[in-house]
Structure formats: structure tokens, C-alpha cells
Amino acid sequence: MANAPGSWVAPGLEGLNARSPLKVHPKMASFIASKGCGPMNYQAFTNDSLTMMYEGIRGALASDDATKAQGGETRFRVRETPDWKKHAADLEAEMIKRGMTFEVIDWSEDQATLPFEE
């Protein structure tokens, strides 16, 4: 699908909206491109927000593992993308600073083949 004149679609976000691509004003696109993706300010998030992001990583990892076990192509590519692991480590560091209790994600490959526990 072609972009509308004067609009810009963020790389990797094409097709997220089935009706039309994500549109960003050209000046905003220029600003985004100039800033890049800086580090997240984890201190600004609430404890619940940190937990939700961490559980989101766990869910994406479980989804990828289940898809791979069924012979499919992973959707989130959590194990193949080092930034996922760094994001999880940064979340863990902030949660530890706050004294939060959480179950650490097991990144070992053998977890990918274990059946899910109910």
C-alpha cells in the first residue's frame, strides 16, 4: 500500500493497521529520525508498568517457543533479537532497585521444548 502524499510510515510498522499504514507528519518523522531510539527511563514507570512490560516479554517468549515447537516461524523473534534480553535485564535491574519480587525469565533453549504448566 502506498503512503499518502506527505505522510511517512515508521520502518517496521507497515501494515499494523489493516485499514491504513501508520501515518506521521513529515516534521515529526524528521524529529523521530534525528533522535533515534534512546534508552528508556525505567525510573519513570510505576511498579505495575514494569511488571506489565516484563510479563509482556515472558508472553512473547512463550508464544515464540510454542510456535517454534509446532514448526512455525516465530512471530516476535525474542530469542533472536538481543534487544529483548537487554530490555528484560534493564527491567530486572529497576525492579531489584525497588525491592520488587518477580520470577526471573529463563532464557535457556531447553525451556522452548517444555510443555506449558497449568
Q: Are 57 and 65 in contact (CB under 8 A)?
A: no
Place of cell 530486572: 92
Whether this model's pTM surpasses 0.75 = no
Count Cβ atoms within 10 A of the Cβ of residue 105 and give its class: 0-12 exposed, 13-18 middle, 19 or more buried: buried
104-113's contacts with Cβ under 8 Å and 24+ in sequence apart are: 105/54, 105/57, 105/58, 105/61, 107/79, 109/79, 111/65, 112/64, 112/65, 112/68, 112/69, 112/79, 113/65, 113/69
Residue 118: pLDDT band (50, 70, 90) is very low
Q: Residue 44: pLDDT above 90?
A: yes
pLDDT digit string, tens, across residues 75-84: 999 999 999 9
pLDDT digit string, tens, across residues 60-106: 999 999 999 999 999 999 999 999 999 999 999 999 999 999 999 99
pLDDT digit string, tens, across residues 3-35: 555 555 555 545 544 445 556 667 666 666 665
Mean pLDDT of the chain: 78
Mean per-residue pLDDT, 36-51:
87
